[in-house]
Amino acid sequence: MIRRTITALIAGLSVLALAGCISTSSAQEDDETLVLGAISAPVTFDPAGSDWGNQAPFYQAVYDTLLRATPDGRIEPWLATDWAYDDDETELTLTIRDDVTFTDGSALTADVVKQNLLRFRDGTASNAGNLASIESIDTPDDTTVVIDLAAPDPAMLNYLARDAGLVGSAESFDNPDLATNPVGSGPYVLKPRASVTGTSYVYRANPDYWNPDVQYYDSLTIDVYTDPTAALNAIFANEADAVRVSTNDNLEQIEASGWSIVGNELDVFGLLLFDRDGAMSEPLGDVRVRQAINYAFDREAMLEALQRGHGSVTTQMFPERSAAYDPALDDRYTYDPQRARELLAEAGYPDGFELSMPSSPSLGTTTYTFIAQQLADIGITVRHDDPGTNFLTDLLAPKYAASYMALEQNPDWQLAQFMLAPGATWNPFGTERDEVDAMLEQMQYGTDAERDEAAAELNQYLVEEAWFAPFYRAQGSMAVAPGTEVEMLTTNAFPAIYDIRPAD
182: alpha, beta or left, given left = phi > 0 and alpha = psi -120 to 50? beta
Among the listed residues 63, 39, 59, 61, the one whose alpha carbon sits nearest the alpha carbon of residue 50: 59
Q: What is the pLDDT of residues 197-243, one digit of tens each?
A: 999 999 999 999 999 999 999 999 999 998 999 999 999 999 999 99
Confidence of residue 16 (pLDDT cuts 50, 70, 90): very low
Does position 19 have pLDDT exceeding 60, yes or no? no
Q: Based on the number of CB atoms within 10 Å of its own CB, is 27 exposed (0-12), middle (13-18) or buried (19 or more)?
A: exposed
Q: What is the pLDDT of residues 400-438, one digit of tens each?
A: 999 999 998 888 999 999 999 998 989 999 999 999 999
For residue 85, give the H/E element and its range.
strand 80-85
Q: How many CB atoms lie within 10 A of CB 434?
A: 7
Does position 465 have pLDDT exceeding 60, yes or no? yes
Query: pTM for this structure?
Result: 0.87
Q: Which domains does the chain have, with CATH numbers?
A: 2-30 (no CATH), 36-247+481-502 (3.40.190.10), 265-475 (3.10.105.10)
Q: What is the pLDDT of residues 37-69, one digit of tens each?
A: 999 999 999 999 999 999 999 999 999 999 999
Q: Based on the number of CB atoms within 10 Å of its own CB, is 11 exposed (0-12), middle (13-18) or buried (19 or more)?
A: exposed
Q: What angle do CA 124, 127, 133 make, to 5 degrees?
A: 100
Q: What is the pLDDT of residues 338-385, one digit of tens each?
A: 999 999 999 999 999 999 999 998 788 899 999 999 999 999 999 999
